[in-house]
Chains A and B, each alone.
Chain A
Amino acid sequence: MKPLAKLTFRWRSIAESRLFFPVIALCLVLLFDFIFIPGFFSIENRDGNLYGSLVDILRNGSAVSLLAIGMTLVIATGGVDLSVGAVMAISASVAGILMNPSALRNEVFFVTDPTYTFQPLWVVIGAALLVAVICGLWNGMLVAYMKIQPMVATLVLMTAGRGIAQLITNGLRVQITYRPFSYIGQGWFILPFSLYIVAFMLLATWLLTRKTAIGMFIESVGINFRSSFFSGIQERKVKLLAYTFCGFCAGIAGLVACSNVKTSDANNIGLFTELDAILAVVIGGTSMSGGRFSLLASVVGALVMQAVTQSMYAIGVPAFALQAIKSVVVIIVILLFSEQVRGLILRVGKKGV
């Protein structure tokens, strides 16, 4: 009797773990690739750097992973941030204009010198992140202090943000040729450099939330903000912090994205990524109504989205038609998370053992 009980317990603990579904989903996608796409798993070693489809998934998913880290905290407080795509565009525009200010004079100036920059790198990155943090603060103020519904409050910046980004770049696409900056998105140190940024942010956020009380505060606010307030948690400041941090993450994601394409394009950078980020968090098992969260599961969720994209590219689905397939995947994943299906899996586990 005893081992049976233990086994059941183990299955339950695995099935109920936050990571269970995202990892299963990722495995399913990779299994599909393994069967249908020959050579998907091959990894090449060029001058000590690793290349291959798997590395591409990690690399191309890094912007969404960064967004997902910030978004997890916001969703855990019971909110949502729709403006991350626009904030990405704003931070990319600020960075672009500080490195190549020709657009301000309303002329397109193709700098070919890879060492030319208007401002030093730390000013560029600092200014872009500062602006992104201000955007996050703005959202946080609206949600926490003005008591506006999160979706509505961030919708404002989502609408106006792209306008602001175009205002900064004067509506032009800014070419970025500064070599050290392009290392952020295109550099390789055995693995793509952007991966280290994601890993660092993940680790830092994990330490911040799990090794201090902040994580618990966030979950408590997400579960019931009123009772958290009465138990002495300053729920407004917790929310403000979550949105500001989300803005910060979006700023980094914007830098990675624009460094990756060597252009700061206010109209296209971060377009629709807010949706990718939210879905990554949902796949990661954080409930949209707030409460418990898992950062790692969200990042795995972002990788699931990217893996689907990458494998569809590999079998030759055109980029835009991909959206239709993505939407089907999303619906399936969300249905998997519905109470009924979850209950069914748990029951099957019990019976099977």
Chain B
Amino acid sequence: MVNRVSAFINKNRRFIPLMATALLAFVAYGIGVINFEGMRNPQVFLNLFRNTSFILISAVGMTFVILTGGIDLSVSGVVVLTTVVSAALLREGWNPWLVILLVLAIGMTLGFIMGSFIVYLKVQPFIATLAGMWFARGMCFFISDNAINIDERTFRILGQTKILIPGLKELADLQGTPAPYISIPVIVAFLVLLIGIYLAHYTRYGRTVYAIGGDQQSARLMGLPVNRTLMMVYTLNGLCSALAGLSFCLFVSSGHGLYAPGFELDVIASVVIGGTLLTGGSGYVAGTFFGVMVLAITQALIQFIGSLSSWWTKIVIGVLMLTFIGVQAVLANRKLDDKVLDAQSLRRRRQRLAVGFGAAAILVVLAFVFLPKLGIGSNSNQAETTVCEIKPFRTDEAAQLIKEGAVIAYNRLAGPKCIDEMYAIYPDGRVLKNDGVNVVEKKITSAEVDSLLKTIIDDYGWYTNEIRDTYHVPCRQCFAHYVIVADEGREKGATAVDGGVNMPPGYGFTLAVIRAVLPEQ
């Protein structure tokens, strides 16, 4: 029995990382479902896809790059350039479809240029794409110093259209809960995933990619079109990044050069966790999907645990990456050892394993030591950027405004001018702005307020679990937001920072609709 199992494992060894990731995703989700009532909601499950659609799109492109043994650090640069260019062009009144085509072309061009540096001028991929990231991020600031809001019909429709799931809708109707849905970027992400799987495993191009990753020299000697394929890989990754940028842009409804910090690391981490070797030549596009899911479930779990701050995501991802890389290193070493398996190498392997497990154990112990300490509370009452000394969110004052009859209180901090503004929207249509010096008032109709509330609560699910605090220290020109919405005795506040990659889509949409009715906008 044991022999048969080990024979089976040996035969399917190349699937082990993939299976491990899938298993990890299922187990993590299972733990969440068992421990947290809220995670059983089908909408929460679908939100895993909604929140990470842009990571998935970008990760598929990145998988190909990593399969060839390269790396692309420019993805976050291309993503923010996409958001800024589309926001700027839409502000000028361009046709949205033209804008979409144009930004996709820009992404491909950037990918093509970086590819040619790597292929023909033999610049290291890591340096060429790094320069690409700086270039793209820097160009954003030539276009605009401040964030540009997107208020355009087509983009709104693309971002906010709900696609109901056929089977689940009836189920939800029976239970009387709102029907779970996904959004258009999710569909796009899955299309990209399917195309990626097809390209990687069923075409000549895909086989060439694997061959290059295995050994570029031999691939060239075999007469494979190495240069052309590498150019294709980087160009397609540029396209994927631009597509990811578009779907990110639909979420945040604005564009700025400092958005999406650390996005490339998320993408690379999910590819690695998905079982693709960073040395290239081994891995599956489907694994990347599970890698992204592990990332999403980690975020969701940390959100449901509640007392853990958002930076724990980073640590967990780091530990997961280490584990996967370690497992792969051990597997790769074992392959070598099969040939010369003497006592010494066996001992070495044991040592290596011991070191690995020791390290993992230390991390676990550290985690448990620090875990109880984290229950103190969230860091949401502290907002500071490097350019200005910022006060904490005025949560008490906002709560006071709600008590006095406001339905929405909105505290906005930082930003390029280091502001601290408090807005209050009342049911009778008064919109008050208080920036600490003077008070500005604007009048809208009460019907508008009603529809605003209805949109925020029903369409964007303000009272659902999905809206949560995602505050971290904002980038130097980004705003920090604190919104309280009150209605029929319910009341909920949540914090966020502009351009954070873990900001829930509903929060971004809410900010966009609130922004539209504020005075002096």
Contacts and interface: CB of A to CB of B under 8 A. Distances in A.
Given A145-B352, A159-B269, A321-B142, A267 B321 contact: no
B325 A148 contact: yes
Contacts of B139: 321, 324
Interface string A154-187: 0111111111101100111100000000000000
Given A162-B311, A172-B379, A320-B257, A338 B122 contact: yes
B145 A170 contact: no
B221 interface: no
A148 B327 CA distance: 10
A288 B127 contact: yes
Interface in A317-348: 318, 320-328, 330-331, 334-335, 338
Interface residues of B, number: 59
A279 interface: yes
Given A149-B278, A322-B138, A323-B135, A170 B329 contact: no
Contacts of B26: none
Contacts of B346: none
A158 to B, nearest CB: 7
Interface in B231-276: 257-258, 265, 268-269, 272
Interface of B: 71, 117, 121-124, 126-128, 130-142, 145, 257-258, 265, 268-269, 272, 278-279, 309, 311-315, 317-319, 321-322, 325-326, 329, 333, 352, 355-356, 359, 370, 376-377, 379, 382, 384, 386, 472-473
A146 B258 CA distance: 36
A159 B318 contact: yes
The listed residue with most A CB atoms (<10 A of its CB), out of B145, B382, B472, is B382
Contacts of B379: 106, 170-172
B141 A148 contact: no
Contact of B124 (A108, A162, A172, A288): A288
Contacts of A171: 309, 311, 379, 382, 472-473
Interface residues of A, number: 55
Contacts of B370: 167
Nearest to B348: A145
B504 to A, nearest CB: 20
B121 A146 contact: no
A160 B473 contact: no
B117 A321 contact: no
A327 B136 CA distance: 9
Nearest to B123: A334
A265 interface: yes
B352 A160 contact: no
Nearest to A165: B311
A151 B123 CA distance: 16
Contacts of A159: 265, 269, 314, 317-318, 321
A321 B138 contact: yes
Given A106-B376, A155-B321, A166 B311 contact: yes
Interface string A76-112: 0000100000000000000000000000001010000
Interface in A123-156: 138, 141-142, 145-149, 151-153, 155-156
B386 A282 contact: no
Contacts of A80: 126
Interface of A: 80, 106, 108, 138, 141-142, 145-149, 151-153, 155-164, 166-167, 170-173, 261, 263, 265, 267-268, 275, 278-279, 282, 288, 318, 320-328, 330-331, 334-335, 338
A243 to B, nearest CB: 15
Contact of B377 (A106, A155, A265, A318): A106
A167 B136 CA distance: 31
Given A149-B279, A152-B278, A320-B258, A265 B386 contact: yes
Contacts of A156: 318, 321-322, 325
A167 B309 CA distance: 9
Contact of A146 (B128, B140, B329): B329
A32 B133 CA distance: 26
Contacts of B127: 278-279, 282, 288, 330, 334
Contacts of A275: 130, 134
B384 A147 contact: no
A151 B329 CA distance: 14
Given A148-B325, A164-B315, A166-B311, A324 B142 contact: yes
Nearest to B333: A147
Nearest to A147: B329
B204 to A, nearest CB: 29
Contacts of B321: 155-156, 159
A267 B473 contact: yes
B386 A268 contact: yes
A295 to B, nearest CB: 21
Contact of B315 (A153, A167, A268, A288): A167
Nearest to B74: A327
A277 to B, nearest CB: 12
Contacts of A268: 386, 473
Given A106-B377, A335-B121, A160 B326 contact: no
Contacts of A323: 134-135, 137-138, 141
Which has the most chain B C-beta neighbours within 10 Å: A142, A161, A279?
A142
Contact of B382 (A108, A152, A158): A108
Most buried by B among A275, A279, A326: A275
Contacts of A322: 138
Contacts of A170: 376, 379
Contacts of B130: 275, 327, 330
Nearest to B382: A172
A80 B130 CA distance: 14
Contacts of A164: 315
B355 A163 contact: no
Nearest to B472: A267
Q: 9 shortest A-B CB distances, which residue pairs?
A: A160-B318, A324-B138, A163-B314, A323-B138, A327-B134, A321-B141, A163-B315, A323-B134, A327-B131
Contact of A326 (B71, B134, B257): B134
22 contacts: A106-B376, A142-B322, A145-B355, A147-B333, A148-B325, A149-B279, A152-B278, A152-B325, A159-B318, A160-B318, A161-B318, A163-B314, A171-B311, A171-B379, A268-B473, A275-B130, A288-B127, A320-B140, A323-B134, A323-B137, A324-B142, A328-B131
Given A159-B321, A318-B141, A167 B311 contact: yes
Task: Name the residue among A268, A275, A327 with the largest chain B CB count within 10 angstroms.
Answer: A327
B217 to A, nearest CB: 15
Nearest to A267: B473
Contacts of B322: 142, 156, 160
Contacts of A172: 379, 382
